[in-house]
Structure 1
Amino acid sequence: MGLRTLASPFRAALFAGVAATSLAVPGLAHAADAAAAEAGGATVDDGNAITVIARKSTETLQNVPVTITAITADAINRDQATKAEALGTHVPTLNIYSGGSGSGGSIALRGVGSSAISAAFDSAVALDMDGIQLSSMRLLQAGFFDIKQVDVMKGPQTLYFGKSATAGVLGLRSADPTKTWEIGGKASYEFVEDGYVVNGYISGPVTDTLGIRVAAQYNDIKKYTQIQPGIPALIRNRGMRDFIGRVTLQWDPSSAFTANLKVNYISNRNDGAIGHQDIDCGANGRADEVVLLGGAIAVPSGANCNIGDRYYAISDPSPTQNSNYPTGSAAGDGKYPGHPFGKTDIWLARLRMDLDLSDKFKLSSVTGYFDINSVDSDTYSSVGVGPAFNPNGIPVALIAPRLAAVNTPGSAQGFGSSDPLNATKQWTQELRLTSNFDGPFNFMVGGFYEHRNIDFNTSQQGVNISIIAADPITGSAFDWYKKHHTTTNAYSLFASGNYKLTEKLELSGGVRWTREKKVNTISVPYVHAFLAATPAFISSGFFSGPIPFRDTNVSPEVTLRYKASDDLNIYAAYKTGYKSGGIDNSALPSNSLLGFNNPATRDQVAQGLIFKSERAKGGELGIKSQLAGRTLTVNGSLFYYVFSDIQLQVFDATKVQFRTFNASELTTKGVDIDFNWRTPVPGLRFNGALAYTSAKFTKPLASAIDGSPLEGRRASRAPEWAGNVGFDYTMSISDKLELGTHSNLAFSSSYYTDTTSVKDPIQKGWATVDGSISIGAPNGAWKLALVGINITDKRFVQSSGARPFLAGPGGLGTPGTPTYVPQGDDRNVLLNRGRQVFVEASFKF
């Protein structure tokens, strides 16, 4: 089934949603009206108003002049949202996926995001965890737990959240200690992927001034990725195991001073980095061969060309691949377990302190520490099933004797193996001084400092020269081992102010100044002797010396809010955004680095590795309203933003190399609307959202792969229409029992899945349905629930890219012969998770 013909069962999903909605039958007694909406970004009761921290201070969602969707803890827990990608069904145009060996994941909003294949890019949507901005998207792989609220802020947020917030912010706020002692927990079993989740917490006051919360979760999924029958793999059901532990201390020694410390440890273990990636067989309708040594060797694929089933064509590596790692390599020294694997360990700590200097001024300090160490290994050809052959009929033993020794029918022959180590240590410090005057004017001033060290080291198989022979000097089977080290120092000063022009009219805004310096060094301790002997590769022992990047930016913002009434706010905002550039770390030890050895060309080659900073400017016009006695909330915004020098990285599958560049200009404009309605039927609430987005390249831009013009083409992962609609219904069966049901239908129109050509694949429109039914105590002391995620088992492509090692134009061999290999067009496609069905039990007392 090709990507372009992957039809979505929209009608079936719609019928399922209607059927689920029909469960919300009126006329039955219920326990109590819910005071606030659980999703959709709205509140229906002043006493339970949802609060957000969109401008570094606590404000109610309906008053803050920012486009935000707030997802509460109840909604997160109800939908078994233990992975960030699950949030996409609550927020139209929010696209989150994890996987791969680059940054490890990607977040996009309104059609703007950053590539997951580059470990050098910061995210265009900032990931904010309890006030700490994180540079690594690998946190998306590990998941989250014990979250108080998720705030999705749309549009540039550089003034308050700094660099790497050009498209928005995904803010995760974890739960804090409670005023009284509380213990809670949950256990669930998932039938389709054969997984279970257990978690629990204990929270309360240790003394009158000190509170503590200890929370932990373990998630074990046996069939996270199921390998397609006929594909050789030692582990046929690839699993994933997560552990999350958090300790929170809240200290309130006086009314003038508070401190909050959070320490997180997060662990992720998996059986391969590729995740939910499958093979789309493209327009030629065939599974294309893996081509090695410039076409001298071809390996049958084995993919079934069906991306709609639950199985993935991911072969284990060839026996010629993962042996005798170079000295110092992350999977060397016996660390490689004999099959693809992934291992991530994260430490995250945040200390926030607030001091009232007087009744007019507050000083706030936020200190952050982030330490991630992640290593994985997989085969990035994805496929490969022996026996390999020569397209011209020459015996394999004459070309690749080491491969010939293991070239048996049905053998695992995946190629392109690597073992990337992604290690980041980040320290941040922010200070803010906030005023609290009685008059019309208040302000905030502050400073921010970030120090970051990033190591991206990997042994790679780009040529796969070891199919001929291992390195005659070291015995290593890898092509090369390269190391990138980047040190970042960033400084920011920012100031913002609010001025009430009248009782109803408020002017706010500010500016952030940022200076950033990055220094990158590249070392290549080892290059296979066969490659180093050619003029196309550098020799072992290469060192680039320092490659610097510096940039300074000023990002202003201004907003005018008109409070027509207590239930109606209208605002207009002009915003700018900034995401710093840097030094590409995908450069291969071939033509990308050869010029470093020549003093006359060194600076030119070094400059070729630098990508420019990304900037955004534009505005929004929004309205936030509450109607019908505050039982109905309707919010909406119009937006228009221009992004210049968009950072892109694409993969050339024929030449087997990355291309990193800045796109000329991307313009995104559209409308966001969400609503929340507490109906006259007791216990019944509806919520939903709809987004229209036009995100297109609006200046001349040639494809980095085939030179085709991309101007006027839509950006990838940018559907014109997306939305969701859902309901919640609770009713009492007796004084001690409460029945609850909920359903959510999410939908999207078609969109491009890549940014390499005007011929890029298009994912057709899709819809998914989630739902649950539960019974428990009205006070939440216990609950039993049946939860269905993606009930209709709808599979759709989130992102795609050309599969490595394809035959080029004209094919290989002689057309019409059994060994002829036509030009390849297979693509790697990253899919969403399929159906999940949970049974769960929870308690709280």
Structure 2
Amino acid sequence: MRRAPSMLLASTMLTLIAAPAIAQEAAPPAQGDTAQAGGLGDIIVTARKRQETAQDVPVAVTAITAEQIVTRDVTSVEKITAIAPQFSVGRDSNGSGAQLTLRGIGSSSTSIGIEQSVAVVVDGAYYGQGRVIQEGFFDLARVEVLKGPQALFFGKNATAGVISITTADPTAAPEFMIKGGYEFKSEQYRVEGYASMPLTDTLGFRVAARYTKMDGGYYRNIADDITYTELDAATGALTSHTATPAARKAPGEEEFLARATLKWEPVDRLTVSLKGSVDVSKVNNSSWNYVAFRCGNGDSSQLNGYPCERDFVTHQNNMPADIAANYPYAKSDGSLYNKYRSASGTLNVTYDADLLQLSSVTNYQWNNNRWTCACDFQSGGSENGIGPTWATENSSWKAFSQELRALTQFDGPFNMMVGVLYQKTKRDFDQFVLTGGVSNSAAPEGYEYVTSAKDSFTKGETMAVFGQLTYRILPDLELAGGVRYTDETKNSFFTQPYNNPLLTGVFRDQDDPDGLGEVVARQHFRNWSPEATLTWKPTADLMVYGAYKTAYKSGGFSNGGINSKLSTDPTADLTFDPEKAEGFEIGFKSTLLSNQLRFNVTAFNYKYSNLQVDFFNSPIFAFQTLTADARTKGIEVEWQFAPNGIPGFDIHGSINYDKARYTDFPLAPCYAGQTPAEGCNLAGNARQDLGGAPLSVAPRWTGNLGINYEVSVGTSNKLGFNVDSRYSASYLASGFGNPLSRQDKFLTIDAGVRFGAEDDNWQLAVIGKNLTNQFYVSGVVDGPSTGSGTGTPGGIKADQLGFGTLPRTVMVEVTKRF
């Protein structure tokens, strides 16, 4: 704990080194009252589904303005982490596609059926799927990071928090913008723009689009050719195949995004907004950021003999072209890829009468994800005699939701909000796995090289009713209490329609004689989630609040799991229980020194029951979704100082302490290769007690510090810069206590310089991110087919494959407005 404050001090010094000199040189001379300008501006948020300032809402919220979004290049969910240091995103190639973690609470990435504990909400509509991180975000009005359980105001419950994203609306006057950029590390070109205009006195229109293309990438793939021998189950013949290296520079992304908005305001009381968007993105490797950063048996990978190192380097190979030519969803040349497509439409209607506000949010969303991955993530075969593993997947998700809400606006002490939510969803899932160097020339057409195929779906239906009553006890004291009732059903099906005969001892197929080949699950969940908040505001610049909160996330079904022959209850393996949160937080928000200093403190303590944890048993290729009890508690301090007399200057930061631990996980699975001396000694040496152990990606200390300064230059131009640092203490990336998964403490620095017209007619900007070029991981899996002897004194730990972050990037941007 002594090291954390010292690192934060170092962060402070690094951030401030350049600031005084530049500020002193760039500051304009005092001219009467002009020198007294500056101070803090209000930040508007909608954390309670009504417009309030961030300082007035009794919720721990980090609000990111449209200006900050542009200045810091916040173009994806992942890039929010640089501004909200307690938020972490681990990008996964398969499963749910992501591990979103806030205050140490997150959802495992290896199960596509787990909805995220940190929900993403776009324009009032709930997006709970981890693959939302594939979406690019642009042309935004604001982003809000709401910390802790959120039960009432954002669609379905979110047990850890909400990332609320609001896109830009049409403007009252015509506006046109075009922006071009180039990022040097990935050799990425970016072009984006928007057109916004009124079509009539009451109807506005906005269209925005962005196209990006990488000629390079962030990671280097230094794999060699791999030649392995394949055994034909039908004839016993042996055939050699060669797997060439995957793309040398990854991800080589190409993406197109577009959004159109119509906003109609026929009368002052009625606002109707319709937004439609599409997203198409392709990368040259679905697992491009997987790095073997620590090895279980020393310094070399157990799969391929390559060194394990903490760097932006991978070792992955394409599927052999002669196999890929007739393999489901593979490219004909066998090259790795990920193609993501999505479309959505959201209709927001608000009618604001004198005493009652009525609102409606209607949303339809669809996405499809297809990929081929080197699914041992560090292609193997030469060291251990096991052939490499590849897989292809085609999965789709669609959801329709309708939310209605009524909010009273009485002058008296009582007001209330009531609402209802309906959602209908469906996930379709197909996956084809090739592993172990086996084939079957007698298999049905297209399945000759398939080791195991999966076919699954889940249909869901949710009905929720929620309400809140507020009572102003005194002019400066308010009590609010509410509850959400949720009724949710999920009907699921899973089967493995084909397994290679040589592996029927590992995988069950649909015709398995024990009757367990097809898994059908009908799940029904019900829950009441109450909450109460007491808010005291003795002055306009000071607020104190205390809150009791609960939240709920339903159980579900792991569509991408495995029905292993070694399992005695596949239904239990593939289904999991609801996750619940309950606890308290108290907060203090203040605006001091004549609107120059914003200083906020939050303390929290939440317990989680049935925290959903997915476990991959790498030696036998089996998944289990387990549940555990946990607790997260800590304190957050954030501030912003914008002195009068120095317009355009502010310094901001935060220091956060969080202790996130399992409180009850008595029969947790052992990590691969764990020995009895290391605690793997329960229930026949297959389990360990993780009570008191830290959660995955849960650093004790985090913090950030930054400065921003913008000053007039001459009579018509301005110069601005920002420097922002982020600190994280060390943490375990594994959720199962594997000491090899430890990520050391790190410090990253972002910076930007911009010069342009005073009226923003044009601008030239240079934006640098992770300038310290820190490699760190935000999640981890055990390397498939690595690790052995679990529960024995001679256990060898599995290689740790981490979800690496982006390296140092520098982008040049030119913006022109008309």
Distance 1:587 1:283, change over 3 A: closer
Identity %, equivalent residues: 31
1:747 counterpart residue number: 727
1:220 counterpart residue number: 213
The amino acid of 2:318's aligned partner reads D
Q: 562, 565, 568: which one pairs with 2:536?
A: 562
Q: Secondary structure at the match of 1:459?
A: strand
2:545 counterpart residue number: 571
> Contact conserved, 2:221 with 2:249, CA < 8 A, in 1?
no
RMSD: 2.6
2:673 counterpart residue number: none
Q: 735, 738, 748: which one pairs with 2:715?
A: 735
- 2:177 is the alignment partner of 1:184: yes
- 2:59 is the alignment partner of 1:66: yes
The amino acid of 1:261's aligned partner reads L
1:380 counterpart residue number: 375
State the alpha-carbon separation in 2 of the partners of residues 382 and 29 from structure 1: 52
2:203 counterpart residue number: 210
Q: Secondary structure at the match of 1:419?
A: strand
2:270 counterpart residue number: 257
Q: Secondary structure at the match of 1:183?
A: strand
Superposition pairs for residues 158-557 of structure 1, below 5 Å? Answer: 158-232=151-225, 233-238=245-250, 239-282=252-295, 284-290=297-303, 301-308=304-311, 310-318=312-320, 322=324, 324-325=326-327, 329=328, 331=329, 335-356=331-352, 358-384=353-379, 387=382, 415-466=388-439, 469-474=440-445, 476-532=448-504, 534=505, 537-538=508-509, 544=518, 546-557=520-531
State the alpha-carbon separation in 2 of the partners of residues 380 and 258 from structure 1: 49
Q: 141, 145, 149: which one pairs with 1:152?
A: 145
Alpha-carbon displacement from aligned partner over 1:148-202 (angstroms, at most 9, x marks no partner): 1000000100122243400000011100000100011211111111112111001
1:311 is displaced (CA, Å) by: 2.1
The amino acid of 1:317's aligned partner reads M
Alpha-carbon displacement from aligned partner over 1:741-761 (angstroms, at most 9, x marks no partner): 110011011111111235352
Q: Secondary structure at the match of 1:530?
A: helix
1:84 is displaced (CA, Å) by: 1.6
- 2:557 is the alignment partner of 1:586: no
Give the gaps of 5 or more residues in structure 2.
1-5, 32-37, 226-244, 671-679, 681-686
Alpha-carbon displacement from aligned partner over 1:253-280 (angstroms, at most 9, x marks no partner): 1123220001010111111111311112
Distance 1:225 1:731, change over 3 A: closer
1:407 counterpart residue number: none
> Contact conserved, 1:492 with 1:513, CA < 8 A, in 2?
yes
> Contact conserved, 2:98 with 2:131, CA < 8 A, in 1?
yes
Alpha-carbon displacement from aligned partner over 1:393-431 (angstroms, at most 9, x marks no partner): xxxxxxx9xxxxxxxxxxxx6x22111222001000001
> Contact conserved, 2:517 with 2:563, CA < 8 A, in 1?
no
Distance 1:320 1:387, change over 3 A: farther
Structure 1 range deviating more: 552-561 or 705-714: 705-714
- 2:771 is the alignment partner of 1:791: yes
2:228 counterpart residue number: none
Alpha-carbon displacement from aligned partner over 1:603-646 (angstroms, at most 9, x marks no partner): x6434432100000001100110001011101111000000010
State the alpha-carbon separation in 1 of the partners of residues 522 and 298 from structure 2: 46
1:599 counterpart residue number: none
Alpha-carbon displacement from aligned partner over 1:293-347 (angstroms, at most 9, x marks no partner): xxxxxxxx15332222x3222232356864533xxx4x06xx5552000101100
Q: Secondary structure at the match of 1:654?
A: helix
2:643 counterpart residue number: 679
> Contact conserved, 1:487 with 1:519, CA < 8 A, in 2?
yes
What is the number of residues matched between the two proteins? Answer: 766
State the alpha-carbon separation in 2 of the partners of residues 690 and 236 from structure 1: 40
State the alpha-carbon separation in 2 of the partners of residues 621 and 9 from structure 1: 27
State the alpha-carbon separation in 2 of the partners of residues 92 and 56 from structure 1: 25
> Contact conserved, 1:323 with 1:477, CA < 8 A, in 2?
no
Q: 674, 694, 703: which one pairs with 2:659?
A: 694
Superposition pairs for residues 43-62 of structure 1, below 5 Å? Answer: 45=40, 48-62=41-55
1:614 counterpart residue number: 579
1:99 is displaced (CA, Å) by: 2.8
Alpha-carbon displacement from aligned partner over 1:744-787 (angstroms, at most 9, x marks no partner): 01101111111123535211110000111121111111111111
Q: Secondary structure at the match of 1:698?
A: strand
State the alpha-carbon separation in 2 of the partners of residues 653 and 210 from structure 1: 57
Superposition pairs for residues 79-94 of structure 1, below 5 Å? Answer: 79-94=72-87
Q: Secondary structure at the match of 1:348?
A: strand
Distance 1:505 1:32, change over 3 A: farther
Q: Secondary structure at the match of 2:81?
A: helix
The amino acid of 2:550's aligned partner reads T
> Contact conserved, 1:675 with 1:687, CA < 8 A, in 2?
yes
Q: Secondary structure at the match of 1:793?
A: coil
Q: 624, 627, 646: which one pairs with 1:662?
A: 627
> Contact conserved, 1:231 with 1:303, CA < 8 A, in 2?
no
Distance 1:440 1:289, change over 3 A: same
1:297 counterpart residue number: none
> Contact conserved, 1:231 with 1:385, CA < 8 A, in 2?
no
> Contact conserved, 1:257 with 1:355, CA < 8 A, in 2?
yes
Q: Secondary structure at the match of 2:562?
A: coil
1:101 is displaced (CA, Å) by: 0.8
2:615 counterpart residue number: 650
> Contact conserved, 1:578 with 1:616, CA < 8 A, in 2?
yes
State the alpha-carbon separation in 1 of the partners of residues 442 and 11 from structure 2: 55
Distance 1:340 1:225, change over 3 A: farther
Q: Secondary structure at the match of 2:96?
A: coil
> Contact conserved, 1:494 with 1:513, CA < 8 A, in 2?
yes
Structure 1 range deviating more: 82-91 or 507-516: 82-91
> Contact conserved, 1:281 with 1:825, CA < 8 A, in 2?
no
Q: Secondary structure at the match of 1:161?
A: coil
State the alpha-carbon separation in 2 of the partners of residues 497 and 224 from structure 1: 52
> Contact conserved, 2:81 with 2:88, CA < 8 A, in 1?
yes
2:229 counterpart residue number: none
The amino acid of 1:355's aligned partner reads Y
State the alpha-carbon separation in 2 of the partners of residues 526 and 86 from structure 1: 41
TM-score of the pair, normalised by structure 2: 0.89
1:586 is displaced (CA, Å) by: 3.4
Alpha-carbon displacement from aligned partner over 1:707-765 (angstroms, at most 9, x marks no partner): 23211111111111101000011122201121111100110111111112353521111
Distance 1:140 1:31, change over 3 A: farther
> Contact conserved, 1:443 with 1:496, CA < 8 A, in 2?
yes
Distance 1:162 1:44, change over 3 A: farther
1:835 is displaced (CA, Å) by: 0.3
State the alpha-carbon separation in 1 of the partners of residues 130 and 551 from structure 2: 20
State the alpha-carbon separation in 2 of the partners of residues 832 and 646 from structure 1: 25
1:461 is displaced (CA, Å) by: 2.8
1:572 is displaced (CA, Å) by: 0.3
Alpha-carbon displacement from aligned partner over 1:662-692 (angstroms, at most 9, x marks no partner): 11x1110001111111124333210111111
